[in-house]
Amino acid sequence: TKLATAMAQYVLFQIEIVRNYSMEEWREDVKKLLRRAGCDGKSQVFLFADSQIKDEAFIEDINMILNTGDVPNLYASDEKAEILEKMMDVARESDKKGDTTPLALYNLFLERVKASLHIVLAMSPIGDSFRNRLRMFPSLINCCTIDWFTNWPEDALERVAENFLSQMDLEEDIVDRCVDMCKSFHTSVQEASFRFYEELRRHNYVTPTSYLELILT
């Protein structure tokens, strides 16, 4: 996502989650994001991972942005007036002689948000959370393209392990053996997890994140 954002000459936006990150701080970050897109016309990518969901209201807001480009009651009256003033300037600069009522100007703001903002959601399918969110927030399906990443092939496992282990002060033959060991551990656990499900009907998920954690231990 970061590489594609840079290639498209977009600006990457991510929130910084700290222990006391509150709903108020989330709303301020959302305001900043939408105003940059709508008022300033800056092309942006908002990258948001499910590990950053401290409150399900975060997903509710994203659902609304995906659907309408807006979050109800997000702006105070003075903030909205500032947005309308900037949209009036945009309308003048673009030689639009049409409707300049507050409603029309705000709709222009929303159009610019939709045109300038892309949202990338990184979510794990493990467990019930992903399924429940898709049911509760239909815009996650209706307004998104879902890229489902399957298991990495062996050459990808090898390349990733080589990339990490080659940065360590190890002899080349030791790196090669460690790479083979990491691949073997990962694939054998995948096979064991499949047998575990076949026999007991219980899931044990083995993901790319699991593989990265194995390499870094």
Query: Per-domain residue ranges for the chain?
Result: 2-142, 154-216
- Domain 2-142 top-level CATH class: alpha beta
pLDDT at residue 46 is higher than 90: yes
Neighbours of 72 (CB within 10 A): 7
Question: Sheet harboring 11-13: ordered strands across?
Answer: 11-13, 44-49, 117-122
pLDDT of residue 97: 62
Separation of alpha carbons 151 and 34, rounded Å: 35
For residue 126, what pLDDT band results from cuts at 50, 70 and 90?
A: confident
pLDDT at residue 127 is higher than 90: no
Neighbours of 150 (CB within 10 A): 6
